[in-house]
A and B are shown apart, each in its own frame.
Chain A
Amino acid sequence: MTVLGYRIPMMFSLLAWFVVWEIVGQLDLTILIPPFSGVIAAGITMLPSQKFHDAITITMTAFLAGMGLSLLVGIPLGILMGRVKAIGQLMGMWVNIFESSPLTAVIPVLMALLGFGQATIITTVFLFSVWVIALDVQVGAKHANASLLEMGRSFGASRFALYTKILFFAALPEILAGVRLGLIRGVKGVVIGQLLVAIVGVGELFELYSRNFLMEEFWALVIMVFAFAFAISETVAYVERRIEYYASTR
């Protein structure tokens, strides 16, 4: 961000917003916006509590399981869609539909099928994240340097070696971009899943705080979820920057 020609560091602009928040909160305009200092205080008391700890554990379990599944399915699916024309045509339309559809609407159906537990939430994380991963990987696999694949074939690579030693790495920039977007969708999926199932984890906390108008705790939790999503996507973005040179020699 730049103001009057000066580059403002992101931390600084965040700080400015927090100051605005504090002022609005102190004015006591609405119960929905407590002072920022109160939110921080609530966050600090929340962090060491057993309840918070349990919520994070169950949430992370669902998130990691769902994401793991997404990567295991999304990356091979995307690679096949990118390399095998028939699969690309067969799956492409469906993956695009799912990627852009409001999947929240199917969570009740999932609950009916899988019950009110972790299975539903893991499936929600999976459904939220897998499509964007598959689509990005497809682009990467499709546009992978053709002469690298020819090189592999000319030196006698098996199909498996071609895919795992060459294609995967050639498509890695797009794979990482897909993973980054998938992770963010996954965070959304886990929270929405827990909110709708409404009995576990971070979703339960959200429900509890908002029902009882504990807005300080509520906002503290929102900030933590945001911070988590931001941190993981930045981590992937960091790796993406590290491998930028892959693309430069294409």
Chain B
Amino acid sequence: MLNTVLSARNGQASGTPEAAVQVEGIGKRYPGGVEALKDVTLDFPAGELTTLLGPSGCGKTTLLKIIAGLLDPSKGQIRVKGKQVHGPGPDRAFVFQDFALMPWATVLRNVAFGLELRGVAKAEREATARKYITEVGLTGFEQSYPHELSGGMRQRVGVARALAVDADILLMDEPFASIDEQTRRKLQEDLLQLLQIEKKTVIFVTHSIEEAVYVSDQIVLLSRRPGTVSRIIRPNLDHSTDLEAARRDKAYLDCVDEIWQTLKQYLV
């Protein structure tokens, strides 16, 4: 039932058509000597949601920021649709764990900010922003400021901002980690629903096994620091009929358990 794939790509030429992002031999040593990642090689299939799952401090954020082009790797390279990239680009949009909303700007301006930075005219970018504000369920809050919103609503703004720039790849760093449990479940469901409309490749970082199994097409288990790929698992849940039911699915429970058995060995 669980489809476990070996992590090593067997010498395939890079440029596998369905991989939106390819991580090739990435290593990262921070100035000061911390080795966060070691020889990570991974494909992120286009149109799928892949989670990076691993214990705290194993280098998930580091890997995501390298993919985003916010950090330079010490070794290896990142390819986006076959082309090597060196910095941030319009093909990737980031959703931050702490939301990273500008407190001095309204929801509307925050959502439109990526377009503002690209020089899109005000009327046009605000029209686009309004569309995505509606899509994430925040209609009526266009003129609110971030401090007037709850954590869950703030992250909806973060998601809308990332969608508004129309990047094919969404990079989400523990987007729901600082949000209370009930709201988090709702956000997970809404994210899945949203992804059925917006065809995106999502790279999703989490340290929650349940969250990973619930939202993912593919789960990459990372080992303790220095992070390496330990296993890749495909939960194969069926979300198309009933978003709620998936959480009671036997496949869901089995997958959670299997990942727990693997991750347990990394805990001291």
Give A contacts to B, CB under 8 Å.
145, 147-148, 150-158, 161, 165-166, 169-170, 172, 243, 245-246, 248-250
- The CB with the most chain A CB atoms within 10 A, among B93, B114, B117, is that of B117
Residues of A within 8 A of B104 (CB): 169, 172, 243, 246
Q: B55: CB under 8 A from chain A?
A: no
What is the interface of chain B mostly: helix, strand, loop, or mixed? Answer: loop
Binary CB contact string for chain B from 94 to 124 against chain A (1 if under 8 A, 0 otherwise)? 1011101111100000000110111000000
Taking the closest CB of chain B, its distance from the CB of A176, in whole angstroms, is: 12
Residues of chain A with a CB closer than 8 A to B146's CB: 249
Partner of B96, one of A147, A156, A165, A248: A147
Instruction: Give the interface size bracket for B toward A.
Output: 20 to 34
A154-B68 contact given A249-B101, A249-B103, CB 8 Å threshold: yes
Q: State whether B96 touches A150 (Cβ < 8 A).
A: yes
A250→B113 CA distance, assembly (Å): 18
Q: Is the CB of A150 within 8 A of B100?
A: yes
Beyond the given A153-B88, A154-B94, A165-B116, please list 19 additional residue pairs across the A-B interface where CB-CB is below 8 A.
A145-B100, A147-B97, A150-B70, A150-B94, A150-B100, A153-B70, A154-B88, A154-B92, A155-B117, A155-B165, A156-B88, A156-B118, A161-B117, A166-B102, A169-B102, A245-B145, A245-B147, A246-B103, A250-B103
Q: Which single member of B93, B103, B147 contacts A155 (CB below 8 Å)? A: B93
- Judging by beta carbons under 8 Å apart, are B70 and A155 in contact? no
B90 touches A156 (CB 8 A): yes
Closest to B173 in A: A147
Which one of A152, A153, A156 has the greatest number of beta carbons of chain B within 10 Å?
Answer: A156
B89 within 8 Å of A (CB atoms) = yes
- What is the minimal beta-carbon distance from B175 to any residue of chain A, in angstroms? 13
Contact partners of A248 in chain B: CB under 8 A: 103, 147
In the complex, what residues of B have CB within 8 A of residue A170's CB?
Answer: 102
Can you list 14 A-B contacts with CB-CB less than 8 angstroms, sorted by A residue number? A145-B100, A147-B98, A150-B96, A150-B100, A154-B68, A154-B69, A155-B88, A156-B90, A156-B114, A158-B117, A248-B103, A248-B147, A249-B101, A249-B147
